[in-house]
Amino acid sequence: MHVPQDDPQDDPDRRPHADPGLQPERTTLAWNRTVLALVVAGLLLLRWVPGHGWFPLVLTLLTLLTALVIAGGQARRYRRSSRGIRDGRVEADVVGVLGTTAAVALLGALALVVVVALPLR
């Protein structure tokens, strides 16, 4: 996570916020925990490869890709919420939330396909 340190007054995006509730930190950490949960689920799916064939690898790839995209946006996400707290308005992260929803739902659907249509050999 990118935490502003050096000469924060230079850049309006990097000036520290004044929220005693630490909302930007808590929100960024919540996304971080989600990344970790995705990585755990993705690696656990590797356990399906010996029994169910190569298809679970697609699920692992999808999971790790989602985690990577979220992790890559963390610095931008922190700046967005930090600036939002300062300005008194933060734009709801429609793309991030609905994209994560779609990815996790797709993951669940594909896992169901594996259990139902690709039984253990």
Partner 1 sequence: MTSSSDGPPGGDAPPGSNARPGSDAPPGATTPPARSPRSARILGGGTEPDPRFTLANERTFLAWIRTALALLAGGVALEAFTADTFAEPVRSGLAVVLLLLSLMLAVAAGIRWLAVERAMRRQAPLPLSLLVPVLAGGAALVAAAFLAVALGGA
Q: Residues 9, 94, 117, 121: which binds partner 1 (CB under 8 A)?
A: 94
Q: Pick from 75, 84, 76: which is nearest to 17 by CA?
A: 84
Residue 65 contacts partner 1 per CB under 8 A: no
C-beta of residue 48 within 8 angstroms of C-beta of residue 56:
yes
Helices 74-87 and 55-72: crossing angle in degrees, nearest 10, is: 40
Residue 117 contacts partner 1 per CB under 8 A: no
Residue 53: helix, strand or coil by DSSP?
Answer: coil
Residue 115 contacts partner 1 per CB under 8 A: yes
Q: How far is the CB of 72 from partner 1 (least distance, A)?
A: 17
Phi, psi of 77 (to 5 degrees): -65, -40
For residues 23-52, which are near partner 1 according to CB under 8 A?
Answer: 23-24, 26-27, 30-31, 33-34, 37-38, 40-41, 44-45, 47-48, 51
C-beta of residue 19 within 8 angstroms of C-beta of residue 85:
yes
DSSP state of 20: T
- Site of interaction with partner 1 (CB under 8 A): 17-21, 23-24, 26-27, 30-31, 33-34, 37-38, 40-41, 44-45, 47-48, 51, 81, 84-95, 97-98, 100-102, 104-105, 107-109, 111-112, 115-116, 119-120
